[in-house]
Amino acid sequence: MTYPVTLRVEGRRCLVVGGGEVALEKVRALIAAGALVTVVAPEVVAPLGGLPGVTVVRRAYRAADLDGCRLVIAATGDPEVNGQVFADGEARGVWVNAVDDPRHCSFTMPAVVRQGPLSVAISTGGRSPAVASWLRRRLEHELDPAYAELLELLATEREALRSSGVSTEGLPWQGALEAGLLDLVREGRVEDARALLRETIREAIVERTAWQ
Protein backbone atom coordinates (compact mmCIF):
# COMPACT_ATOMS: atom_id res chain seq x y z
CA MET A 1 0.00 0.00 0.00
CA THR A 2 1.35 3.41 -0.97
CA TYR A 3 0.62 6.87 0.45
CA PRO A 4 -0.38 9.24 -2.37
CA VAL A 5 0.99 12.79 -2.29
CA THR A 6 1.57 15.69 -4.67
CA LEU A 7 5.10 17.06 -4.43
CA ARG A 8 6.11 20.69 -4.86
CA VAL A 9 9.52 20.67 -6.52
CA GLU A 10 9.62 24.23 -7.82
CA GLY A 11 13.06 25.68 -7.18
CA ARG A 12 14.33 22.42 -5.69
CA ARG A 13 17.20 20.33 -6.96
CA CYS A 14 16.28 17.06 -8.61
CA LEU A 15 18.56 14.50 -10.26
CA VAL A 16 17.93 12.28 -13.27
CA VAL A 17 20.44 9.49 -13.78
CA GLY A 18 20.35 8.38 -17.40
CA GLY A 19 20.38 10.12 -20.74
CA GLY A 20 17.95 8.27 -23.02
CA GLU A 21 14.43 8.95 -24.22
CA VAL A 22 12.87 7.85 -20.95
CA ALA A 23 15.15 10.21 -19.04
CA LEU A 24 14.16 12.99 -21.43
CA GLU A 25 10.49 12.41 -20.63
CA LYS A 26 11.16 12.56 -16.89
CA VAL A 27 13.27 15.71 -17.21
CA ARG A 28 10.56 17.50 -19.17
CA ALA A 29 7.99 16.66 -16.48
CA LEU A 30 10.28 17.96 -13.74
CA ILE A 31 10.97 21.17 -15.67
CA ALA A 32 7.24 21.72 -16.13
CA ALA A 33 6.92 21.54 -12.33
CA GLY A 34 9.67 24.15 -11.89
CA ALA A 35 12.40 21.84 -10.61
CA LEU A 36 16.11 22.54 -10.95
CA VAL A 37 17.28 19.47 -12.83
CA THR A 38 20.70 17.88 -13.17
CA VAL A 39 21.20 14.99 -15.59
CA VAL A 40 24.11 12.59 -15.09
CA ALA A 41 24.93 10.08 -17.84
CA PRO A 42 27.93 9.17 -20.01
CA GLU A 43 25.83 9.85 -23.10
CA VAL A 44 22.62 11.83 -23.58
CA VAL A 45 20.14 12.17 -26.41
CA ALA A 46 20.47 15.45 -28.27
CA PRO A 47 17.29 17.16 -26.95
CA LEU A 48 18.49 16.82 -23.35
CA GLY A 49 21.48 19.02 -24.04
CA GLY A 50 19.25 21.80 -25.34
CA LEU A 51 16.70 22.05 -22.56
CA PRO A 52 16.87 25.42 -20.76
CA GLY A 53 17.79 25.35 -17.10
CA VAL A 54 19.03 21.75 -17.15
CA THR A 55 22.57 20.92 -16.09
CA VAL A 56 24.00 17.96 -18.01
CA VAL A 57 27.01 16.10 -16.59
CA ARG A 58 28.43 13.63 -19.10
CA ARG A 59 29.98 10.91 -16.97
CA ALA A 60 29.03 7.85 -14.94
CA TYR A 61 26.89 8.25 -11.83
CA ARG A 62 28.54 8.90 -8.46
CA ALA A 63 26.94 8.70 -5.02
CA ALA A 64 27.88 12.33 -4.36
CA ASP A 65 25.53 13.36 -7.20
CA LEU A 66 22.66 12.94 -4.73
CA ASP A 67 24.00 15.57 -2.34
CA GLY A 68 21.52 18.42 -1.98
CA CYS A 69 18.80 16.71 -4.07
CA ARG A 70 15.18 16.36 -2.97
CA LEU A 71 14.37 13.47 -5.28
CA VAL A 72 16.06 11.32 -7.90
CA ILE A 73 14.91 9.40 -10.94
CA ALA A 74 17.08 6.55 -12.14
CA ALA A 75 16.37 5.95 -15.83
CA THR A 76 19.48 4.11 -16.92
CA GLY A 77 17.93 0.83 -18.03
CA ASP A 78 20.66 -0.89 -16.03
CA PRO A 79 19.27 -2.66 -12.90
CA GLU A 80 22.68 -2.61 -11.23
CA VAL A 81 23.09 1.15 -11.60
CA ASN A 82 19.47 1.79 -10.65
CA GLY A 83 19.93 -0.37 -7.58
CA GLN A 84 23.01 1.58 -6.55
CA VAL A 85 21.19 4.88 -6.97
CA PHE A 86 18.39 3.54 -4.79
CA ALA A 87 20.77 2.31 -2.10
CA ASP A 88 22.59 5.65 -2.05
CA GLY A 89 19.28 7.49 -1.84
CA GLU A 90 18.11 5.36 1.06
CA ALA A 91 21.34 6.06 2.91
CA ARG A 92 20.86 9.82 2.45
CA GLY A 93 17.11 9.97 2.99
CA VAL A 94 16.49 11.00 -0.64
CA TRP A 95 13.42 9.75 -2.48
CA VAL A 96 14.31 7.61 -5.52
CA ASN A 97 12.27 6.30 -8.42
CA ALA A 98 13.88 3.67 -10.63
CA VAL A 99 11.99 3.47 -13.91
CA ASP A 100 10.37 0.06 -14.50
CA ASP A 101 12.16 -1.31 -11.43
CA PRO A 102 9.71 -1.21 -8.48
CA ARG A 103 12.13 -3.02 -6.15
CA HIS A 104 14.35 0.05 -6.28
CA CYS A 105 11.70 2.72 -5.75
CA SER A 106 10.93 4.67 -2.62
CA PHE A 107 8.17 6.38 -4.60
CA THR A 108 6.26 5.54 -7.78
CA MET A 109 5.04 7.96 -10.41
CA PRO A 110 1.35 7.88 -11.35
CA ALA A 111 -0.19 8.40 -14.74
CA VAL A 112 -1.67 11.91 -14.73
CA VAL A 113 -4.59 13.56 -16.49
CA ARG A 114 -4.48 17.37 -16.44
CA GLN A 115 -6.94 20.13 -17.17
CA GLY A 116 -5.36 23.43 -16.18
CA PRO A 117 -4.58 23.26 -12.45
CA LEU A 118 -6.74 20.14 -12.07
CA SER A 119 -4.72 16.93 -11.89
CA VAL A 120 -6.03 13.39 -11.56
CA ALA A 121 -3.35 10.83 -10.72
CA ILE A 122 -3.72 7.10 -11.32
CA SER A 123 -1.38 4.72 -9.54
CA THR A 124 -1.10 0.96 -9.40
CA GLY A 125 1.68 1.04 -6.83
CA GLY A 126 4.14 0.11 -9.55
CA ARG A 127 2.38 -3.19 -10.28
CA SER A 128 1.16 -2.32 -13.78
CA PRO A 129 2.05 0.99 -15.46
CA ALA A 130 0.09 -0.25 -18.50
CA VAL A 131 -3.16 -0.28 -16.51
CA ALA A 132 -2.46 3.22 -15.17
CA SER A 133 -1.82 4.52 -18.70
CA TRP A 134 -4.95 2.80 -20.00
CA LEU A 135 -7.09 4.43 -17.31
CA ARG A 136 -5.47 7.79 -18.00
CA ARG A 137 -6.51 7.60 -21.67
CA ARG A 138 -10.07 6.78 -20.66
CA LEU A 139 -10.25 9.68 -18.23
CA GLU A 140 -8.81 12.12 -20.78
CA HIS A 141 -12.10 11.85 -22.68
CA GLU A 142 -14.12 12.57 -19.53
CA LEU A 143 -12.11 15.48 -18.14
CA ASP A 144 -12.92 18.15 -20.70
CA PRO A 145 -11.93 21.84 -20.28
CA ALA A 146 -15.19 22.53 -18.43
CA TYR A 147 -13.72 20.86 -15.36
CA ALA A 148 -10.88 23.38 -15.22
CA GLU A 149 -13.34 26.24 -15.62
CA LEU A 150 -15.51 24.79 -12.87
CA LEU A 151 -12.49 24.51 -10.61
CA GLU A 152 -11.61 28.18 -11.13
CA LEU A 153 -15.21 29.17 -10.41
CA LEU A 154 -15.25 27.40 -7.05
CA ALA A 155 -11.74 28.54 -6.16
CA THR A 156 -12.63 32.17 -6.85
CA GLU A 157 -15.77 32.05 -4.74
CA ARG A 158 -13.98 30.23 -1.91
CA GLU A 159 -11.19 32.80 -1.84
CA ALA A 160 -13.71 35.66 -1.85
CA LEU A 161 -15.42 34.19 1.20
CA ARG A 162 -12.12 33.67 3.03
CA SER A 163 -11.04 37.24 2.23
CA SER A 164 -14.26 38.55 3.77
CA GLY A 165 -13.62 36.59 6.97
CA VAL A 166 -16.13 33.80 6.35
CA SER A 167 -15.01 30.26 7.17
CA THR A 168 -15.42 27.98 4.15
CA GLU A 169 -15.37 24.80 6.22
CA GLY A 170 -18.67 22.93 6.41
CA LEU A 171 -20.28 24.81 3.53
CA PRO A 172 -22.24 22.74 0.99
CA TRP A 173 -19.72 22.75 -1.86
CA GLN A 174 -20.56 19.15 -2.71
CA GLY A 175 -24.26 19.94 -2.77
CA ALA A 176 -23.64 22.79 -5.18
CA LEU A 177 -21.61 20.53 -7.44
CA GLU A 178 -24.33 17.91 -7.41
CA ALA A 179 -26.89 20.59 -8.35
CA GLY A 180 -25.56 20.70 -11.92
CA LEU A 181 -22.80 23.31 -11.94
CA LEU A 182 -20.72 21.33 -14.43
CA ASP A 183 -23.61 21.07 -16.89
CA LEU A 184 -24.16 24.82 -16.72
CA VAL A 185 -20.48 25.50 -17.37
CA ARG A 186 -20.47 23.09 -20.33
CA GLU A 187 -23.45 24.95 -21.77
CA GLY A 188 -21.54 28.23 -21.51
CA ARG A 189 -23.80 29.48 -18.71
CA VAL A 190 -20.98 30.34 -16.34
CA GLU A 191 -22.80 33.26 -14.70
CA ASP A 192 -25.83 31.04 -14.05
CA ALA A 193 -23.48 28.52 -12.44
CA ARG A 194 -21.94 31.28 -10.34
CA ALA A 195 -25.37 32.49 -9.22
CA LEU A 196 -26.45 28.96 -8.28
CA LEU A 197 -23.25 28.42 -6.31
CA ARG A 198 -23.54 31.72 -4.47
CA GLU A 199 -27.19 31.13 -3.58
CA THR A 200 -26.46 27.65 -2.26
CA ILE A 201 -23.59 28.91 -0.16
CA ARG A 202 -25.46 32.01 1.01
CA GLU A 203 -28.35 29.94 2.31
CA ALA A 204 -25.95 27.75 4.27
CA ILE A 205 -24.18 30.78 5.78
CA VAL A 206 -27.51 32.33 6.83
CA GLU A 207 -28.59 29.05 8.43
CA ARG A 208 -25.25 28.65 10.19
CA THR A 209 -25.40 32.21 11.52
CA ALA A 210 -28.92 31.67 12.84
CA TRP A 211 -27.72 28.75 14.94
CA GLN A 212 -24.80 30.69 16.47
> Which string of b and e fits 169-189 if b means at least 16 CB within 10 Å?
eebbbeebeebebbebbbeee
How much is the pLDDT for 43?
A: 95
Per CATH, is 13-109 categorized as 3.50.50.60?
no
CA-to-CA dists, residue 63 to 21, 53, 88, angstroms: 23, 23, 6
Domain residue ranges of the chain, discontinuous segments joined by +: 13-109, 145-211
The Cβ of residue 147 has, within 10 Å, a number of other Cβ atoms equal to 18
The single-letter code of the amino acid at 123 is S
Q: 75 by DSSP, 3-state: which?
A: coil
How much is the pLDDT for 212?
A: 57
Measure the CA–CA gap between 119 and 138, rounded to whole angstroms.
Answer: 14
How much is the pLDDT for 209?
A: 74
How much is the pLDDT for 211?
A: 66
How much is the pLDDT for 188?
A: 97
How much is the pLDDT for 4?
A: 86
How much is the pLDDT for 207?
A: 82
How much is the pLDDT for 126?
A: 77
| Mean pLDDT, the chain cut into blocks of 10 residues (212 residues total) | 88 97 96 96 94 94 97 96 97 95 90 90 86 92 93 96 92 94 97 96 85 62
